A and B are shown apart, each in its own frame.
Chain A
Amino acid sequence: MLERRLPRWLAWAIDREQARRAPFLAHSPLFAGLPRRLLGRLGTRFLEKAYDAGEIVFHEGDPGRALFVVVEGTVEITQATPRGEHVVRTLSAGDAFGELALIDESRRSGSARVAEPARLLILYKTDFDALMDGEARIAVVVMRNLSRVIAAYARRNPVVVTEPAPRPEADERP
């Protein structure tokens, strides 16, 4: 990055917040393997928002439009069950959630609620798509990491078939 190459007397020209963002994103499993140059470009696409404890980031069933990365605080991912709300994961600084929104705008499989006052980085699919159009490497690396996340999720939650699906030829004919 530029801040390492600049002489000390030019340090005032460096945006500290932006300079911290790239190394921070490098620690997220989703962006692991991206070179610093691309992390810098990716970092500019994130928006930041502060949340108070108890605030809802998104509801289960909403269309997913963005990926969130926790900068500070904790966020709980919950799912509604007949017995009430069930906490699936608790996320802290560096963790990302809502990753599937980068693939399509499918509905959220759980709700996200802020447990402790938090600052979140938000990457919208529109911005990510625009970035991928110009930088195929970002697409390759992030999609590979995303595949790993999905594979890990699938291994943790195997699909159990309880009864065979009805066959069309088994239908009763008049």
Chain B
Amino acid sequence: MKPSWLVTIVGVAALAWLARGLALPVFLALTFAYLLSPLVAWADALAIRRSVAVGALFTVMIAVLLVGGLLVGPRMLTEASALLERLPTLAIQIDTSLDSAARELVEAAPVFRRVLPEGGGWVHRFVLARPPGDPSDFFEHAGHLFLFAILVPFFAFFLLRDMPQIVTAAMNRLPPEHVETSVAVWRELNGVIGRYIRGVVMDGLVVGALAALGLWAIRVPYPLLLGVFAGIANVVPFVGPLLSAAAAALVVLLTPGQGLAGVVRVLVLFLAIKVLDDTLIQPLTIGRSVHLHPALLLGSVVVGNHALGVLGMIIAVPVATVLQETVRLLLEHRRVLARRHLRSGAGRLDG
């Protein structure tokens, strides 16, 4: 390896390490850019300058967010504050149920005494009665959120505006005879990631809307809040739908007058949404963008959770798809190079 290459690699690695705090905003900006890219491509086809198209798109989006926030925001805030007010009462109800269930379990099988934590009131002890954090923590979190709200659209704007120039510059620096295959790998991955991200977001929107409507129809409290949660949780494969169904079932369980029949209704609703999602919504939104074996898909989610928690579970599927496609295309490229080498050897022998 040439010393200049070594210096470049070390320099890039050092820069990446120093800028590691920017990884999440850049990742979110990329996701955002992928979501908006079809609209920018549509403007490209009309020969509108990218800076004009992206600027107009961001202006429209800010307007839509403001109007949407004004329309749905107050209702969401009301539901969230009502839930927060009821939280201490709910925690006592959950603790009472859990304590009695644990007592019955330990009486039936004393071996569980070693496994279960000592004492009762788990929700109160572990969730609500946590020592209050340093006041500076609050400002740190608020600062992070504010920074994200600025950085993500900022990066997304420049990614969308300058991507063609970045691609052309990168292509002009690649060795000419490797351009076709190397860029083919990138184009394929770009297509897969774009379709997956847009599909997942569309799927989440439809599932969230269906859940909110269904919960409202069967008179479950906080339908909008639970619907939004179902839409967001749907991004996490396997675990997300279970979590949203469990959250809705818990709310029903703790609502006076709903009882076990209410829980059954909620479970049937989420099962119906899941079946509809798997058979109709996902094929239309995510479609054929992911070609992972189900076992590999599950494995990638488990590994993602182990490595990066919830974020890892969300990015597990596209990352596994990208790795699979990259390995496939690189192996193919290696076979081509070997064949070319063999031919040139044969040519020398002939000559």
Listed in ascending order, the chain A residues whose CB lies under 8 Å from chain B are: 1-3, 12-15, 18-19, 22, 37, 40-41, 43-44, 47-52, 55-59, 61-63, 65-66, 80, 82, 114, 122, 124-127, 130
Contacts and interface: CB of A to CB of B under 8 A. Distances in A.
Contacts, number: 93
Nearest to A52: B176
A15 B180 contact: no
22 contacts: A12-B49, A13-B52, A14-B47, A19-B47, A40-B45, A40-B47, A41-B41, A43-B44, A47-B167, A47-B183, A49-B168, A49-B171, A50-B172, A51-B176, A55-B177, A57-B180, A58-B177, A58-B180, A63-B332, A66-B180, A80-B347, A126-B184
Interface stretch (B274-282, B298-306, B335-343): B335-343
A37 B41 CA distance: 13
Interface of B: 41, 44-50, 52, 167-168, 171-172, 176-177, 179-181, 183-184, 187-188, 191, 332, 336, 339-340, 343, 347, 350
Contact of A15 (B47, B168, B187, B336): B47
A52 B49 CA distance: 29
A127 B180 contact: no
B268 to A, nearest CB: 36
B44 A18 contact: yes
A20 to B, nearest CB: 9
A124 B183 contact: yes
A50 B169 CA distance: 10
A41 B41 CA distance: 8
A56 B176 CA distance: 6
Which applies to chain B's interface (DSSP): helix, strand, loop or mixed? helix
Contacts of B347: 80
Contacts of B183: 47, 66, 122, 124
A122 B174 CA distance: 14
A122 B343 CA distance: 27
A164 B167 CA distance: 52
A126 B188 contact: yes
B343 A49 contact: no
Contacts of B181: 62-63, 65
A63 B336 contact: yes
Contacts of A49: 168, 171-172, 176, 179
A13 B48 contact: yes
B46 A2 contact: yes
A55 B176 contact: yes
B20 to A, nearest CB: 31
A38 to B, nearest CB: 9
Given A49-B179, A56-B176, A126-B184, 15 more contacts: A2-B47, A2-B48, A14-B48, A15-B49, A19-B47, A41-B41, A48-B168, A51-B176, A57-B176, A57-B177, A62-B340, A65-B181, A66-B180, A66-B183, A125-B184
The 6 closest A-B pairs by CB, nearest first: A19-B47, A40-B45, A65-B184, A55-B176, A44-B44, A18-B47
Contact of A3 (B44, B47, B332): B47
Contacts of A13: 48-49, 52
A2 B332 CA distance: 43
B336 A66 contact: no
Contacts of B48: 2, 13-15
B187 A124 contact: yes
Contacts of B52: 13
A72 to B, nearest CB: 14
A48 B165 CA distance: 10
Nearest to B174: A49
B45 A59 contact: no
Contacts of A130: 191
Contacts of A43: 44-45
Given A15-B50, A43-B45, A56 B187 contact: no
A13 to B, nearest CB: 5
A126 B191 contact: yes
A43 B46 CA distance: 10
B343 A61 contact: yes
B329 to A, nearest CB: 10
B288 to A, nearest CB: 10
Given A49-B172, A65-B181, A126-B187, A1 B336 contact: no
Nearest to A1: B47
A52 to B, nearest CB: 8
A65 B180 contact: yes
A47 B47 contact: no
B41 A44 contact: yes
